[in-house]
Amino acid sequence: MKQYVIIGNSASGIAAIESISARDKGAKIIVISDEDYPAYCRCLISYYLAGEVKEDKLVYRPEAFYKEHNVELHLNKKVTRVDPAKNRVVCADKSVFNYDSLLIATGARPKFPELPGIKKEGVFGFRTVKDAKEISGLLPVTKSVCVLGGGLIGLKAACALRKRSIDVKVVIKSRQILSQMLDADAAILAQKRLEEKGIEFLFGQDAQEIIGEGDIRALKVESGKVFSCSMVISAKGVQPNIELIKDAEIKTREGIIANETLRTNVENIFAAGDVCESADISTGGFAVNALWPIAVEQGKVAGVNMSGERLVYEGSVGMNSIDFFGLPLVSLGVYKAGANSGMEELKSANLKQGYYKKLIFNGNLLVGAVLAGDIKNSGILLRLIREKADVSGFKDKLLQDNFSYPCIINVVKEKECRYV
């Protein structure tokens, strides 16, 4: 009987379980997670913090799921070392699990800046349900919070806190919010909406010190200004959890490098999810696209290949979607063309009316889009990017409202589109 080990119990790990059990009925699957919480939907934790989703709605798969799929589940157990020479993984408590095929789906963790006070109680990341529950538990005695970082995670946390009537200040080193997702114009629209709802921003500054004896009292920034707060949320990005393979000769850059079957350079070891660095369709290179739908897709493909079949993973497209108090935002693929990239940008915007559209082309290929306010054609644009469809001759029409699904079918299948 073949034995599979999956390190990680989130989106990609669950998807891999389903793929493996559908193809290898007699398989034994061992799942190891360093979290002590059952599989949950990580994308919902901001809604949980906001009080919009109850805890039971976070559950992604019930306990019965594991029994049905012949899974031996180990929670609150951390794998510290992968040993490819002996086909085994070693845990912090010295327990050992052997495998015939291994999936590393360890995800990523928040980055915490190195500054005085960063290890005080009341400093949180915002990545897990444990983070959300601990933050929520302190809100009855919390008046103000400082969020470090203006990316998607930080702003999700800020919005959730405002919905709980907490004063929020977001401290951002760059000159705009969402600098890894939006260009300056779209970011201004989002910033104005968030400011209208009471979120304050401090741009061009980094945190310098978290002040307090025991409890947090304030945050000091580079300019010397001090802002009162009783909680700090660090949202300065995430880093893939690759430490467990540091001695395993598995190739990495930002994440674990995986090929078109999501294998690593070790034949029976695979990677998927936020720890995986794989093909990026829009750039033609490799990237860690840390998104739930991508993690699910990668887990499915990895599970198929682990079970002995062959399924090619075509690659991912970086994409983000969020709604800030009724302002929808979508970013797909390349979100801004570099000065010497040779790429072309087309825009349609009315910032006063609250909408902005930008498309980015590399020759005759659509490689990216930024939409704010009006996102109804985002699915069509994503498919054009994924299919690498030739859009020559009607680039400007992609910004029109009448560009529809029947048209995308013609583009993909016939490489042409006719407009009446």
User: Tens-of-pLDDT digits for all 420 residues of the chain?
Assistant: 899 999 999 999 999 999 999 999 889 999 999 999 989 999 999 999 999 999 999 999 999 999 999 999 999 999 999 999 999 999 999 999 999 999 999 999 999 999 999 999 999 999 999 999 999 999 999 999 999 999 999 999 999 999 999 999 999 999 999 999 999 999 999 999 999 999 999 999 999 999 999 889 999 999 999 999 999 999 999 999 999 999 999 999 999 999 999 999 999 999 999 999 999 999 999 999 999 999 999 999 999 999 999 999 999 999 999 999 999 999 999 998 877 788 999 999 988 888 899 999 999 999 999 999 999 899 999 999 999 999 987 888 898 877 765 655 555 455 444 433
Enumerate domains of the chain plus CATH numbers. 3-38+59-109+239-306 (3.50.50.60), 112-234 (3.50.50.60), 327-414 (3.30.390.30)
Give CA–CA dist 262/259, Å, rounded.
5
- The two structure tokens encoding residue 221: 């920034």
Look up the pTM and report it. 0.93
Dump pLDDT digits (tens) for 283-324. Answer: 999 999 999 999 999 999 999 999 999 999 999 999 999 999
Q: Which residues contact 226 (CB under 8 A, 6 or more apart)?
A: 211, 218, 219, 220
Q: What pLDDT, on the 0 to 100 scale, is given for residue 410?
A: 57
Q: What pLDDT, on the 0 to 100 scale, is given for residue 415?
A: 45
Give CA–CA dist 90/80, Å, rounded.
6
Characterize 10-43 residue by residue with b for buried, 16 or more Cβ atoms within 10 angstroms of its Cβ, and e for exposed. bbbbbbbbbbbbeebeebebbbbbbbebbbbbbe
- Which stretches of 313-405 are assigned E, i.e. beta strand? 319-324, 327-333, 344-350, 355-362, 365-372
Give CA–CA dist 417/414, Å, rounded.
8
- Do the Cβ atoms of 279 and 386 come closer than 8 Å? no
Q: Is the alpha carbon torsion for 377, 378, 380, 385 positive or negative?
A: positive
For residue 229, which of 130, 151, 126, 123 has the smallest C-alpha distance? 123
Determine which helix (DSSP H) or strand (DSSP E) holds 134, and give its type and residue range: helix 129-138
Q: What pLDDT, on the 0 to 100 scale, is given for residue 418?
A: 41
Give CA–CA dist 171/357, Å, rounded.
27
Q: What pLDDT, on the 0 to 100 scale, is given for residue 403?
A: 75
For residue 294, which of 269, 268, 275 has the smallest C-alpha distance? 275
Q: Which residues contact 313 (CB under 8 A, 6 or more apart)?
A: 258, 260, 261, 262, 278, 279, 297, 298, 301
- Do the Cβ atoms of 150 and 177 come closer than 8 Å? yes
Q: What pLDDT, on the 0 to 100 scale, is given for residue 353?
A: 84
